[in-house]
Amino acid sequence: MRRRCSIWRSSLVAGMMISTTLGRTNLVVNGSFDDPAEPLKGWRTHYDLPGDSWYARNRELVSVVAQESGRTGVLRLHVPTRDIAINQGVKADSIPIPISPDQRYRFSAWARSTGPNCRILLEGYRWKPGVRPHDNPDISELRKCYKFTQLYFGTVKAGDMGGVGRSWSQASMEFPDAMKSDLQREIYSTIRFVVVHIVAIGGDAGDLLVDDVRLEPIGPIPSGTRSGR
């Protein structure tokens, strides 16, 4: 019994040390795409709501590959033709993630591409009018209200596309930043959930490979910069 307790304590300390060392909680469900039973758990790839006709085949083009250039469990968005690349693209969205207006967050992801460009960003959602808030919302119960700055993988942190390269690289952004306008502040304050939006678009046919998508709280918003609700 003494020995078992000792092992447990050691494990706890080790876990705390690892937690401290490696970082904070990842709010993205299955952001590493390593779920052994359901690799795409926590991700939406099937689009069948009204207005989604461009993405009817989308589900067939999204998968998780076990090994890819030294990484395990990688999201693969396969863009079969250039025509799709320069039109609707192939996309995947995470399930809604509740966020707190008092927190700052860090959003990051690893990616590489063999053809298409990408846009990886967070989208803010609020409840649709008439929907009673609850803990497990479906996307159809939410309404998009905000689009955050996308992740830029290139050296220039601006532009319409993410600029992902052929080798693995990581990009990140933190939010919220100082609000530019009352309109931004007003709409930001209505956000209740965020969704990680990944779309392989632009460029050429090929695969967009994404891994280790993380959304981490990094502490409270400094006083005076809160957006409020």
Partner 1 sequence: MTYREDVVAHLMALGRQLRRRTAVRQLTLGLAAVLTLWAVLATADVVFRYGLTGRIVGSSMLWLSAVAALAAAAQVWRQPWTPEAVAARVERAFPELDNRLINRVQFVRSAWRDAMIEAYLREPPPPLDQMPISRLGDPRRARQAVAALLIGLGLGVAGYLWGGAAWVNSALRMANPFSTRSPVTLATIEAVEPGHGAVLVGEPATLRVKAKGRAGVPVVLDLWPRDDRRTRIELGRLPGGSSAELSHRLPRVAADFEYRFIVGDAVTPRYRLVAIPPPAFRGLDVEVRPPAYLRAQPRRIVALRERVVAPEGSTLVLTAAANRAMVEASVVTGLSTVRLDRARGEDLWWGELPAAGGRWTVGIRDSHGFVGSASFDVEVVPDPPPKVEIIAPRGRVRLEAGATPAIEFVATDDLGLVRVTICRLTPWDTQTPSRVVAEWNPNGAPTFQQRWTDREAARPEPGRPWMYRVEATDNLPGAKHPRAVSAAVVFEPGTTSGGAAASTTEVAAAASSLSRMVELQKANLAKTTALEQQKVATADAWQAVANVQKEIFQIAESLLADPTKPLGALAQVVRDLHAGPMREVIGVAARVPSAADLERPMLMRRAVTLESAILRALTAAAGAVDRVATHRKITGILAMLDALVQGQADVLHATKELQPGQVAAGLVTRQDRLAEDTSEFARTAAREAEAMRTVDEDFARRLGEVAKECDTRQVPRTMLGAAGHLEQKAPERALPLQEKALADLREFQSRLNEWRAAQAQAQHEAVQQALEAARESMKRLAELQGKVVDAIRQTEQQKDKSDKEMEEFLEELGEIKANMAEALLKIATDLHIFPELPVGNDLVADVYQIYEEVAQVPGSESTPASELGLQKEDWILEALETATERLDDMEMWMVSQPDAVKRNTENFDQQELPQIPVIPLPTELEDIIGDLLEQQEDIMQQADDSATNQGSADMPAGWGIAEGEFANFSAKGKSGNERPDHKDQDGRSLVGREGMSDGETVAGSGKINEGDRNIEARRTQDSAQAGQVQEEGHAEARATGGGKGSGYSDRLGMSGTGRREDAKTEARSELGLQALLRRSAEALYARASMAHIRTGSLEDAVRAMRQAEEAMRRGAPIYEVREFQRRAAQALARARMELGAGAYVPVPTGPARPLMGADDAAPVEAAPPAYRDLVAEYFRLLSETAP
When the beta carbons of 43 and 175 are compared against partner 1, the nearer one is 175
166 scored as a contact of partner 1 (CB under 8 A): no
199 scored as a contact of partner 1 (CB under 8 A): yes
Site string for partner 1, 98-137 (x = CB under 8 A): ---------------------x---------x--------
2 scored as a contact of partner 1 (CB under 8 A): no
Q: How far is the CB of 146 from partner 1 (least distance, A)?
A: 5
Choices 61-69, 100-108, 139-147, 207-215; region in contact with partner 1 by CB under 8 A: 139-147
- What would the DSSP string read from start to end of the chain? -HHHHHHHHHHHHHHHHHHHHH-S---STTTT---SS-TTTTEE----STT-GGGTTGGGGEEEEEEETTEEEEEEEEE--HHHHTTT-EEEEEPPEE--TTEEEEEEEEEEESSEEEEEEEEEEEEPTTPPP-SS--GGGEEEEEEPPPP--SSS--SSS----SS-EEEEEEE----SSHHHHHHHTT--EEEEEEEEEEE-SEEEEEEEEEEEEEEEPPTT-----
143 scored as a contact of partner 1 (CB under 8 A): yes
Choices 11-19, 20-28, 45-53, 214-222; region in contact with partner 1 by CB under 8 A: 45-53
Q: How far is the CB of 135 from partner 1 (least distance, A)?
A: 24
Judged by the rule CB under 8 A, the positions of this chain that interact with partner 1 are 51-54, 87-89, 91, 119, 129, 143-149, 152, 156-160, 180-181, 183-184, 187-188, 199, 201
